[in-house]
Amino acid sequence: MKRYDERMTATRLSIDADRLYASLDALGRIGAYQDEHSGLVGVRRLALTAEDGAGRRHVVEQMRALGLSVTIDRIGNVYARREGRDPRAKPVLMGSHIDSVATAGRFDGCLGVLGGLEVVRTLDEAKRATRRPIVVAFFTEEEGARFSTDMLGSAVAARRIALDKAWALTDRAGKTVKGELEAIGFLGDAPVELDPPHAYVECHIEQGPMLRAANVDLGVVTGVQAIAWHELVITGRSAHAGTTPMELRRDPGVAAARIQLYLRAMVLSKRYTKQLRATVGVTQYLPGLVNVVPNRVHTTVNIRHPDDAVLKRALDELVAFYATIAKEERVEVQHKVTARTPNIAFAPRVQELVAKHATARGLSQQRIVSGAGHDAQEMAAVCPAGMVFVPGEYEGISHNPREFSTKEQCANGVNVMLDVVVELAEEEGV
Ligand code: GLV
Ligand code: MN
Ligand code: MN
């Protein structure tokens, strides 16, 4: 007779695609807003706002309804655990985030979390036990859109960012992470340092055009590119717009514009293998009046490259340009590094499992490096980690209400995550 765990991996379960999609819709209604640019309904659940609090309570309710034991740590990461047959064995973790940018769709992050819960639901319905416990997590402020640092909760769990530093980060209104965690009732008391799980798997939309253009069902994610974010304060002198001769001006607006154009030239340059991506997402002119030369500009730079060594060279050049511009425009340029992560590679074994199970389900696939940052890259520092990417329609547009993946695309990704988790959860050892 076959051993119990051999029999368990022998039958392939499948998730309920309708149920998964309905759960994405339901969470997407929390923080829904009318987007004036696209005319579509988008999602706005910036981290630790009231909307995020409501989204969190909605997901925690589902976790409890599944009989999972829920733990909230001191940075507000939430873990829901399904026990395994062997209480000493380390768990397999699935996770992602439910916070969003201010102009989001309903898939980014949510697919990984709700997909994780759908995996648990599917196992429960089939009365299938696993040797290892299974944990579904959502991490705090993955986006970095409110407190300026991405992957915040998972970085604290992985010990890359100290809890005190994370707590002290502020949003534009000066509100702190710690205060906002308290305000929404998610300042938990569990220690933040994550006990290394056996492995980590995250299903996420690609958020780019490649998989759809290649007409493949899934992406096997090989790693994540290197990322750097700067916040700049450029200070000059306000003056009359009509009377101040150009040569007497100290205009931080001109300095900001020149930095943006310089980035554009860097991106197009062969020096950076044409793989550099740079974005200026915020530029705020103060005092912001039509007839006053500004005295201050707040702006941001977001720059990424698949190779950290190349990104480092680009950053050196950029920072040198900040000094040049300060001199030439007679302004002060201060920059703060708000996010910086190197490129990371996912565990080959997890990649192989994703590829193997996709093939077993008859799904076509492509290896892909993630252009976006993900909690999985933080988890990769503590355990073997990997990701399954789901293609997106409309050129895979994301961070936009138009973000859309079909029911089938989502189900394919979560089914492969289910297979990978079931296999990992039967593995021997502690
Ligand atoms: C997270 O979405 C990022 O900016 O990569
Ligand atoms: Mn995401
Ligand atoms: Mn995102």
DSSP strand E in 74-166: where? 78-82, 92-96, 134-138
Could you tell me the distance, in angstroms and rounded to a whole number, from the CA of residue 360 to the centre of ligand 1? Answer: 31
**Co-location of 260 and 405 in the same domain:** no
Other Cβ atoms less than 10 A from the Cβ of 290: the count is: 5
- Choosing from 341, 376, 392, the residue where a domain stops is 341
**Co-location of 190 and 274 in the same domain:** no
- Start-to-end CA distance of the chain, whole Å, equals 25
Could you tell me the distance, in angstroms and rounded to a whole number, from the CA of residue 399 to the centre of ligand 3? Answer: 6
- Please report, for the domain that includes residue 233, its CATH number: 3.30.70.360
- Return the pLDDT at 11: 77
Ligand 1 contacts CB of residue 98 (under 6 A): no
Q: Which ligand is nearest to the CA of 370?
A: 1
Ligand 1 contacts CB of residue 35 (under 6 A): no
Give the chain's domain count: 2
- Please report, for the domain that includes residue 42, its CATH number: 3.40.630.10
Confirm whether 58 is domain-assigned: yes
- Return the pLDDT at 262: 98
Confirm whether 430 is domain-assigned: no
- Return the pLDDT at 2: 39
- Choosing from 320, 341, 362, the residue where a domain stops is 341
Confirm whether 72 is domain-assigned: yes
If we measure between CA atoms, which residue out of 103, 111, 108 comes closest to residue 42?
103
CA distance 66 to 60: 10
62, amino acid identity = Q
**Co-location of 140 and 208 in the same domain:** yes
- Choosing from 297, 325, 341, the residue where a domain stops is 341
Q: Which ligand is nearest to the CA of 110?
A: 2
**Co-location of 336 and 349 in the same domain:** no
Confirm whether 301 is domain-assigned: yes
- Return the pLDDT at 68: 98
For a ligand 1 pocket test, name from 98, 143, 146, 311 the mutation site with the most ligand atoms within 8 angstroms of its C-beta. 143
CA distance 415 to 412: 5
**Co-location of 204 and 238 in the same domain:** no
Could you tell me the distance, in angstroms and rounded to a whole number, from the CA of residue 129 to the centre of ligand 3? Answer: 33
**Co-location of 351 and 337 in the same domain:** no
For a ligand 1 pocket test, name from 206, 304, 340, 374 the mutation site with the most ligand atoms within 8 angstroms of its C-beta. 374
Tokens read off for 218? 């899934």
| Domain hosting residue 140, numbered range | 4-225+344-425
Could you tell me the distance, in angstroms and rounded to a whole number, from the CA of residue 370 to the centre of ligand 1? Answer: 10
Q: What are the pLDDT tens digits along the chain (430 aa)?
A: 334 344 444 579 999 999 999 999 999 999 999 999 999 999 999 999 999 999 999 999 999 999 999 999 999 999 999 999 998 999 999 999 999 999 999 999 999 999 999 999 999 999 999 999 999 999 999 999 999 999 999 999 999 999 999 999 999 999 999 999 999 999 999 999 999 999 999 999 999 999 999 999 999 999 999 999 999 999 999 999 999 999 999 999 999 999 999 999 999 999 998 899 999 999 999 999 999 999 999 999 999 999 999 999 999 999 999 999 999 999 999 999 999 999 999 999 999 999 999 999 999 999 999 999 999 999 999 999 999 999 999 999 999 999 999 999 999 999 999 999 999 999 999 9
Ligand 1 contacts CB of residue 141 (under 6 A): no
Nearest ligand 1 atom to alpha carbon 399: 2
**Co-location of 202 and 337 in the same domain:** no
Ligand 1 contacts CB of residue 112 (under 6 A): no
Nearest ligand 1 atom to alpha carbon 372: 5
**Co-location of 22 and 105 in the same domain:** yes
- Return the pLDDT at 10: 58
Nearest ligand 1 atom to alpha carbon 101: 2
For a ligand 1 pocket test, name from 43, 96, 150 the mutation site with the most ligand atoms within 8 angstroms of its C-beta. 150
Ligand 1 contacts CB of residue 373 (under 6 A): yes
Could you tell me the distance, in angstroms and rounded to a whole number, from the CA of residue 376 to the centre of ligand 1? Answer: 12
Confirm whether 16 is domain-assigned: yes
- Checking 48-52 for CB contacts under 8 A at 24+ apart, the result is 48/76, 48/99, 48/140, 48/141, 48/146, 48/147, 48/177, 48/180, 48/181, 48/183, 48/184, 48/186, 49/146, 49/180, 49/184, 50/184, 52/98, 52/99, 52/184
- Return the pLDDT at 273: 86
CA distance 235 to 241: 17
With 0.75 as the threshold, say if the pTM is over it: yes
Ligand 1 contacts CB of residue 228 (under 6 A): no
Could you tell me the distance, in angstroms and rounded to a whole number, from the CA of residue 374 to the centre of ligand 3? Answer: 8
Confirm whether 92 is domain-assigned: yes
**Co-location of 251 and 367 in the same domain:** no
Ligand 1 contacts CB of residue 372 (under 6 A): yes
**Co-location of 107 and 33 in the same domain:** yes
DSSP strand E in 153-276: where? 199-205, 218-224, 226-235, 239-240
**Co-location of 17 and 102 in the same domain:** yes
**Co-location of 216 and 115 in the same domain:** yes
Check: CB of residue 51 under 8 Å from CB of residue 31. Answer: yes
Confirm whether 123 is domain-assigned: yes
